[in-house]
């Protein structure tokens, strides 16, 4: 009985003996062909769409003007790179082509890469420089001024190198001050941590006011320690100003950028650290003369101000004395006014005044009374019946002495008393003639 094929095995196409391939078989076959026919290759292109997985793998695309291909750099290979792969870089990538099983797409498995323009070391240095600059380690506003005359100078370099001798000669020639040297390797893989430790140690020494860090000239590889991030951060963290003197004038390291001052050579660093004694003496003498002139001017101004203050004080004192004299006189007058004799005199004067005023008032009252009395007398006199009698009239009085005004009040034979202007008459009524109207 013939063997029956399993359900997983592809069946031959009808009318032919060819069996179809599974997709995984096709992908494996394609990978085998690529490995045999192409193998390891170098590809140049521009980087885009860079992404880094948490595992450490780096995924990106390489492209030119017409095509692009996906690429992957495994974690172990990425750790060996001296620079970071970033968008826009032009890279030379070494690797092999393969088809990814999951999506069947062609991609480049990269095991090494280097910049197509700059070398890997140069690119890594540019990237480190940009990152440290972004942190502000090279900012101009963080640069500290150097002391005019340091108490002690710290030098971080190799004791066996020429740089330390250049610094010492320059300092002794200009203005000798104590120099403390911290020996450190300045070249090779162990140099960066040694330099960083030496900077931190020498800055803690008493009286060290400035630190010089550097070495003599050399190739880019010889100066590489001064482009190390550890050295740059140690310079920036130093509590006193730092002068960088690395290589020659054409050499510019990251330590130069981080330091407070950059010297082209170690000799120039020593000259920066201290002034020239003779020049300093001249400056001191000039400053002394300037201070004397300033002091004389200030003394003259102070004397004038003192004179003005004295005059103002004298005026205020005199004014105060006059005011006190016036108040004293007023107080004396007030005390004298309170003395019993003064009070008696004041009361007597007041009494005299009141007496005079009373006498005057009484006299006025008497005069006014007399005048009113005279006026009333005149009025009474004008109204008196006697005035009428003077004009020839007479007043008839009845027996009961009332004035007879009507003839009908009396009868014939009645007795009347007639009052004349001068004297009176006793009369008897003969006839009565009443007024009929």
At residue 9, the pLDDT reads 54
Give Cβ neighbours of residue 39 (< 8 Å, ≥ 6 apart): 96
pLDDT at 224 over 70: yes
Phi-psi region of 213 (alpha: psi -120 to 50; beta: other; left: phi over 0): beta
Long-range contacts of the stretch 32-41 (C-beta < 8 A, 24+): 34/96, 34/97, 34/98, 34/99, 35/96, 35/98, 38/96, 38/97, 39/96, 40/94, 40/95, 40/96, 41/94, 41/95, 41/96, 41/97
Q: Mean per-residue pLDDT for 392-396?
A: 83
Round to whole Å and give the CA distance between 97 and 40.
8
At residue 348, the pLDDT reads 80
User: What rounded mean pLDDT belongs to the chain?
Assistant: 85
Indicate whether this model's pTM tops 0.95.
no
Q: What is the pLDDT of residues 7-49, one digit of tens each?
A: 455 555 555 567 788 877 787 877 777 877 787 888 888 888 8
When pLDDT is cut at 50, 70 and 90, the band that residue 1 belongs to is very low
Q: What are phi and psi of 111, to 5 degrees?
A: -115, -5
Helices 120-134 and 229-237: angle between axes, nearest 10 degrees: 30
């Amino acid at each position: 009985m013939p063997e029956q094929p399993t359900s997983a095995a592809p069946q031959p196409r009808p009318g032919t003996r060819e069996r179809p391939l599974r997709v995984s078989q096709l992908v494996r076959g394609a990978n085998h062909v690529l490995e045999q026919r192409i193998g390891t290759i170098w590809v140049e292109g521009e980087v885009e769409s860079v992404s880094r997985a948490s595992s450490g793998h780096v995924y990106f695309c390489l492209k030119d003007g017409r095509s692009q291909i996906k690429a992957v750099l495994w974690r172990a290979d990425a750790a060996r790179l001296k620079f970071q792969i970033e968008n826009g870089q032009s890279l030379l990538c070494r690797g092999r082509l393969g088809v990814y099983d999951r999506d069947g797409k062609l991609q480049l498995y990269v095991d090494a890469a280097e910049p197509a323009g700059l070398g890997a070391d140069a690119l890594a240095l540019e990237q480190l420089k940009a990152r440290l600059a972004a942190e502000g380690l090279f900012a101009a506003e963080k640069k500290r001024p150097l002391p005019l005359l340091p108490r002690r100078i710290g030098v971080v370099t190799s004791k066996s190198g020429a740089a330390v001798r250049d610094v010492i000669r320059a300092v002794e020639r200009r203005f000798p001050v104590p120099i403390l040297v911290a020996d450190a390797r300045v070249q090779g893989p162990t140099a960066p941590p040694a330099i960083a430790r030496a900077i931190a140690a020498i800055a803690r020494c008493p009286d060290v006011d400035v630190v010089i860090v550097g070495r003599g000239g050399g190739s880019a590889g010889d100066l590489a320690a001064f482009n190390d991030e550890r050295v740059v951060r140690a310079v920036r963290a130093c509590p006193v100003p730092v002068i960088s003197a690395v290589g020659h004038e054409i050499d510019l390291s990251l330590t130069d950028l981080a330091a407070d001052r950059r010297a082209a050579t170690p000799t120039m660093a020593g000259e920066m650290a201290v002034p020239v004694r003779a020049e300093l003496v001249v400056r001191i003498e000039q400053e002394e003369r300037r201070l004397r002139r300033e002091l004389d001017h200030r003394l003259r101004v102070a004397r004038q101000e003192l004179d003005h203050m004295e005059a103002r004080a004298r005026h205020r004192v005199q004014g105060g004395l006059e005011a006190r004299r016036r108040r004293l006189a007023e107080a004396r007058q007030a005390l004298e006014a309170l003395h019993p004799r003064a009070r008696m005199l004041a009361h007597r004067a007041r009494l005299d005044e009141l007496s005079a005023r009373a006498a005057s008032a009484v006299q006025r009252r008497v005069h006014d009374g007399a005048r009113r009395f005279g006026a009333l007398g005149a009025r009474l006199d004008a109204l008196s019946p006697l005035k009428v009698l003077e004009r020839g009239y007479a007043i008839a009085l009845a027996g009961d002495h009332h004035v007879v005004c009507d003839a009908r009040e009396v009868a014939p034979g009645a007795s009347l008393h007639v009052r004349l202007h001068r004297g009176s008459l006793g009369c008897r009524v003969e006839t009565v003639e009443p007024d009929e109207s």
